[in-house]
Amino acid sequence: MSARNADISKGIDWLLVGLYMILCAIGVLSIFGATYKEGENIIQSFTAFQTDYSKQFYFWILAMVVAIAILVTDSKFFTATANLWYAFGILLLLLVFPFHTEIKGTRSIIRFGGFQLQPADLCKVFVALALAKYLSRVETDFSKTRSQLIATAIALAPAIMSILQQETGLALVYFSFFLVMFREGLPAGILIIGFSFAVLVVATLLLDPNTLALILTGIALVAIYILRKQIKRKKQLLVTIVGIWMVCVGIQRFLVPYVFESVLQPYQVKRIYDTIGKDYVPAGGTVLLEEATPRKKDDGGDYNVKQSKIAIGSGGFAGKGLLKGTQTRYDFVPEQRTDFIFCTIGEGFGFVGSFLLMGVYFVLLMRIVTIAERQRSVFSRAYAYGVASVLFFHIAINICMTIGLAPVIGIPLPFISYGGTSLLTFTAALFILIRLDADRQMVLR
């Protein structure tokens, strides 16, 4: 241990560290721009831990302490304890059910005095470790269905519990781990099926049910006609096509309506409809959506997105400058320090600032992929792809959410959105990767 401490910098990818520092600094600056009040004593706010930007700064300091602790830890520790961390994460998720605090419609948060913990957020790191551990086992044959189902269960168990805690946004993040499985040998056909399912769900929302049923029937008939020669030789192919048609019609007619009426919350359904440009009328047609949920009227996804787009658009090419944006300075955009932090950057620094931020994210993701591909260990490679997948999902969905291209599902922008749990989670995930990469010549299992 002393030898490692004496040369902590050996093998460290300083480009990743530098990108991390840049993003965290942008985060504190953006939160400052969104929450600073005229006449506020900045020095006093930092010393008294009073404001959101001062709290985020201290969260950053704490995150750096965690990062240093990770860097002085032996890489073998993470492989040896991966399953224990996963079990700990599942335990935390189970503790949420009896001890949760309901905040803004979600029941996924445990509160300890003034500190809040969201296990569904923290568990992303634990799933990345556990999935990498399973995929790196000598006895794991990922070409077999049984191994694929076990890996899927590892990734989606926290997602199911998150949905039960009414935290659908974070639950969707766990589906990003299918990209890790694809890199490690999951058949592309499974991803195609998943994409086709998503297209079918969107088509169900956009089209009249009878019209969509006719389109699905037409596609099935065209497939039968094109494959008629193969069907003559192999009758089972006809049964397969008819079976797929029946499944698609069943999803369209029964599964999607059931999920939207009985599983998702009304405000979540409305946000999805707002994204595709359609009006949502609840069952019965007379209940106002805002009255059916505990949220404020102005907290609706459509209102948020409209104000966010106004803020980003008003930034123009070069932006209005720090503390000069009217939309963000006067709180027109709800949650502008957390889920909608990107609109603060768009208004203050314009297209140039937004483009540069996305450029930093792009370099970060490409660097992680490069690091993943140079690993000798399957564990390190799978973990690196897990980190890249989660980051990509968060970045893409959050930015698309703020400009109206994705439903408002409430997931933060990595390293930038306000929140201690989020910052600590992403910091731990990234620096575990940096630690593993420093020992890339080792074969870890």
Note whether 164 and 305 are same-domain residues. Answer: yes
Residue 272 belongs to a domain? no
Find how far residue 383's CA is from the centre of its chain: 16
DSSP conformational letter for 285: S
Which pLDDT score is estimated for 185?
A: 84
CA distance 351 to 431: 30
Question: What kind and span of H or E run contains 106?
Answer: strand 106-112
Residue 443 belongs to a domain? no
Note whether 31 and 129 are same-domain residues. Answer: yes
Residue 281 belongs to a domain? no
Give me the number of domains the chain comprises: 2
Find how far residue 252's CA is from the centre of its chain: 26
**β pairing state of 106-112 and 100-103:** antiparallel
Contact between 129 and 78 under an 8 Å Cβ cutoff? The reply is yes
Question: What kind and span of H or E run contains 83?
Answer: helix 82-99
Which pLDDT score is estimated for 277?
A: 62
Note whether 241 and 380 are same-domain residues. Answer: no
Note whether 335 and 433 are same-domain residues. Answer: yes
Task: Map residue 442 onto helix, strand or coil.
Answer: coil
Note whether 31 and 165 are same-domain residues. Answer: yes
Note whether 48 and 188 are same-domain residues. Answer: yes
* Residue 56 CB partners (closer than 8 Å, separation 6+): 27, 28, 31, 418, 420, 423
Note whether 6 and 58 are same-domain residues. Answer: yes
Question: What kind and span of H or E run contains 258?
Answer: helix 256-258
Closest Cα partner for 90 from 117, 127, 115, 116?
127
CA distance 78 to 215: 51
Residue 28 belongs to a domain? yes
Note whether 124 and 215 are same-domain residues. Answer: no
Residue 311 belongs to a domain? yes
Note whether 224 and 178 are same-domain residues. Answer: no
**What token pair was written down for 269?**
């359904």
Residue 267 belongs to a domain? no
Residue 398 belongs to a domain? yes
Side-chain half-sphere exposure of 188, counting CA atoms within 13 A: 0
**What token pair was written down for 17?**
């560290």
> Residue 65 carries which side chain, given as an amino acid letter?
V
Q: Could you tell me the strand order of the sheet in which 115-117 lies?
A: 100-103, 106-112, 115-117
CA distance 348 to 351: 10
Which pLDDT score is estimated for 365?
A: 96
Closest Cα partner for 393 from 178, 105, 104?
178
Residue 400 belongs to a domain? yes
Global pTM exceeds 0.85: no
Note whether 75 and 163 are same-domain residues. Answer: yes
Note whether 247 and 314 are same-domain residues. Answer: no
Which pLDDT score is estimated for 296?
A: 41
Could you identify the residue written with the tokens 């192999």?
234
Note whether 366 and 230 are same-domain residues. Answer: no
DSSP state letters, 11-56: T--HHHHHHHHHHHHHHHHHHHHHH--TT--HHHHHHHT-SHHHHH
DSSP state letters, 107-137: EEEEEETTEEE-HHHHHHHHHHHHHHHHHH-
Q: Which regions of 193-301 does DSSP assign to beta strands (E)?
A: none
Contact between 145 and 122 under an 8 Å Cβ cutoff? The reply is no
Give the domain extent around 248.
Answer: 207-259
> Residue 249 carries which side chain, given as an amino acid letter?
V
Contact between 315 and 348 under an 8 Å Cβ cutoff? The reply is yes
Instruction: Give me the residues of the chain with pLDDT under 70, please.
Output: 1-9, 46, 48, 104-106, 113-114, 267, 271, 274-302, 329-331, 445
CA distance 66 to 430: 11
Which pLDDT score is estimated for 140?
A: 87
Tally helices (H) and strands (E) across the chain. Answer: 21, 3
